[in-house]
Amino acid sequence: MANQEDMGLGFLDILFPFFIPLKGLMWIGGKVKEMVEREMTDEPKIHEELLELQMRLEMDEITEEEYEKSEGKLMEKLEEIRRYKEKEGG
């Protein structure tokens, strides 16, 4: 059974049942936002991509130019994540 606080079901839902679907949509939207935010601020994923990029360079799968271009993009993402986390206080 879902926690009453999680879904926000209570006395008012009995009085105004037409709000239940709206509250459900809002709850789902909040969960989707949390998941997207978690995915967008995943520093370890960026670190893994940097390591993979380094390995590809060492194995001559990519050129130095391709490496530098991709590394720059990944470092920018990492900096954006850190700025976002500082702004959000986390």
2, part of any domain: no
pLDDT digits (tens, 9 = 90+) for 28-50: 999 999 998 888 888 999 999 99
Q: Residue 63: inside a domain, yes or no?
A: yes
Which conformational region is residue 6 in: left (phi greater than 0), alpha (psi within -120 to 50 degrees), or beta?
A: alpha
Number of domains in the chain: 1
- pLDDT of 60 > 90? The answer is yes
62 in a domain, yes or no? yes
Domain of 52, in residue numbers: 45-88
53 is a domain residue: yes
Angle, CA 8 vertex, CA 4 and CA 10 arms, to 5°:
75
Higher-pLDDT residue of 72 and 14 is 72
Task: Assess if residue 13 is contained within a domain.
Answer: no
pLDDT at 70: 97
